[in-house]
Amino acid sequence: MKVERLAIADILLFTPTRLGDTRGFFSETFRADAFAVHGVDAIFVQDNHAYSGQKGVLRGLHFQIPPRAQGKLVRCSRGAILDVGVDIRAGSPTYGRHVAVELSAENWRQLWVPPGFAHGYVTLQDDCEVIYKVTDYYAPDYDRGIAWDDPALGIDWRISTSDVLLSDKDRKHPRLADAAAAFQLAR
């Protein structure tokens, strides 16, 4: 499994090996020991699977606050997405910065977004499926978000804002500067 540290060191990009033959392929998409070598000792408790029928579906930027914070291991099993993690840990030298990575069925990459980061993605094609593991159960009372289009974040979603399809909930998230601080960088 190939592992890359990105511009924010706590967010990792994993590319599992695919072994193929005339029947198709086989891939280990998660191994606790391989992830632990790179500092990810997460215990995943829930798998989520989302389908989006159209290009431009934007989901995010979401996070859960402590004590129900979630780490996420995200992959795209059909189509392609731009996956984004935003550092929302007060006191972090990368606070308010983000990483954005294309994940697709073709490139087979997975993004590890640890607790303390807001997460979101936009579909770059029609008919996308995204599968992600999380480290805590969905807890609506702890569910929060920040505005996907906050100009202070400077995220290039690679799609025209007029083409973005959002849920009502995602239209109402505050900008990062207006959101209550939920995470403090552990020292």
Q: Which of 62, 98, 119, 173 is catalytic?
A: 62
Residue 22 identity (one-letter amino acid): T
- C-beta neighbour count of 68 within 10 angstroms: 16
- The whole-angstrom separation of Cα 45 and Cα 22 is 34
In the residue annotation, 132 being an active-site residue is answered as yes
**In angstroms, rounded to a whole number, what is the distance separating the alpha carbons of residues 53 and 75?**
17
Asked if residues 185 and 92 have their Cβ atoms less than 8 Å apart, the reply is yes
Select from 99, 116, 75 the least CA-distant residue to 156.
99
> How many other β-carbons are positioned within 10 Å of the β-carbon of residue 138?
12
Active-site entry in 98, 119, 121, 132: 132
What's the token pair of residue 90?
A: 């007060």
Residue corresponding to tokens 């020991």:
33
Q: What CA–CA distance (Å, rounded) separates 172 from 10?
A: 28
Active site residue 62: yes
Q: Give me the active site residues, please.
A: 62, 132
